[in-house]
């Protein structure tokens, strides 16, 4: 094992985005112990997150990592070098940020109008972003894809990045709320992971990933094993149906950082020379 790709919110971070809070709301250092186990074994840790670049940079710096993947794989930074993975949709002086270009396309306004009442901006986290428009709600992604295509916007896609658990971020009358990102269609967390692996020279069998969302799950297509932390299934029971029969997907018995710790120590133990 040479690399761990790990999501932040809902995975390495516990409730209220705390590295030191466990599933029960009490203090837990298991997320830190997962990072320590990686350090002792010489395993690189790479954050892959839906957060904007500045936030992921600070988190990566906090844990001593020199590489990270931000805004759902729209960008990857390795040893200070930034590469956009957005198929030519990049910031320019004329067009502005990728976020501004998506806004100018009319796609965000189209979705908010068509899905009024079941989709809204995920404030305050939707502010100050460079790439993705961040929403919360509950919509049919296939239906959204068809709508975008019909409007000549197939260069964009709406991505499910997991269930929102905070009580203050729910929507009336909706039992399950998801975080959605509107991003360039070619970008994904899996693509970001694959590009980092290519840069570092890692093979699939060298790497594992841990996460809590459908978008995280796609990393299973490029790494040896993907670990879904237990809390991912607490409110989104359909997620378990999606992973049935998928190669290289395992469900941790623990949630949040404890689940990441389980993934790391289990993998290291299973690969220890006999």
Contact 184, 130 (CB under 8 A): no
User: Angle between the 107-114 and 98-105 helix axes, to the nearest 10 degrees?
Assistant: 50
Q: What is the pLDDT of residue 197?
A: 98
Q: What is the pLDDT of residue 274?
A: 64
Helix (H, G, I), strand (E, B) or coil at 43: coil
Q: What is the pLDDT of residue 149?
A: 98
Please, what are the averages of pLDDT over each run of 10 residues along the chain (274 residues)?
Answer: 96 95 96 98 97 96 97 97 96 96 98 96 93 96 97 96 82 88 97 98 98 93 96 83 87 97 97 76
Q: What is the pLDDT of residue 262?
A: 98
User: Most distant CA pair in the chain: distance in Å?
Assistant: 60
DSSP assignment of 198-260 = HHHT--GGGEEEEESSHHHHGGGGTSSEEEE-GGGGSS-THHHHHHTT-TTEEE-SS-HHHHH
Give the Cα separation of 145 and 130 in Å (integer): 22
Give the Cα separation of 186 and 165 in Å (integer): 28
Among 161, 264, 157, 136, CA closest to 212: 161
């Amino acid at each position: 094992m040479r690399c761990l790709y790990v999501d932040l919110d809902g995975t390495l971070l516990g409730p209220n985005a705390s590295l030191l809070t466990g599933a029960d709301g009490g203090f837990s250092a298991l997320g830190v112990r997962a990072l320590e186990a990686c350090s002792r074994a010489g395993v690189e840790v790479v954050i892959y997150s839906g957060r904007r670049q500045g936030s992921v940079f600070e988190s990566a710096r906090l844990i001593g990592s020199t590489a990270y993947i931000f805004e759902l794989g729209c960008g990857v930074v390795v040893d200070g070098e930034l590469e956009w993975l957005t198929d030519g949709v990049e910031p320019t002086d004329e067009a502005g940020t990728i976020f501004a270009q998506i806004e100018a396309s009319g796609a965000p306004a189209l979705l908010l109008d068509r899905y009024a009442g079941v989709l809204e901006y995920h404030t305050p986290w939707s502010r100050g972003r460079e790439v993705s428009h961040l929403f919360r709600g509950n919509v049919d992604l296939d239906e959204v894809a068809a709508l975008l295509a019909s409007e000549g916007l197939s260069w964009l896609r709406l991505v499910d990045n997991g269930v929102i658990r905070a009580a203050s971020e729910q929507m009336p009358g909706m039992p399950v709320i998801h975080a959605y990102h509107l991003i360039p269609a070619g970008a994904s967390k899996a693509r970001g992971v694959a590009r980092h692996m290519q840069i570092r020279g890692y093979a699939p069998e060298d790497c594992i990933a841990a996460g809590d969302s459908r978008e995280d799950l796609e990393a299973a297509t490029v790494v040896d094993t993907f670990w879904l932390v237990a809390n991912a299934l607490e409110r989104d029971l359909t997620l378990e149906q999606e992973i049935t029969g998928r190669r290289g997907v395992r469900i941790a018995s623990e949630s949040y950082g404890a689940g990441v710790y389980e993934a790391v120590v289990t993998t290291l133990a299973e690969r220890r020379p006999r």
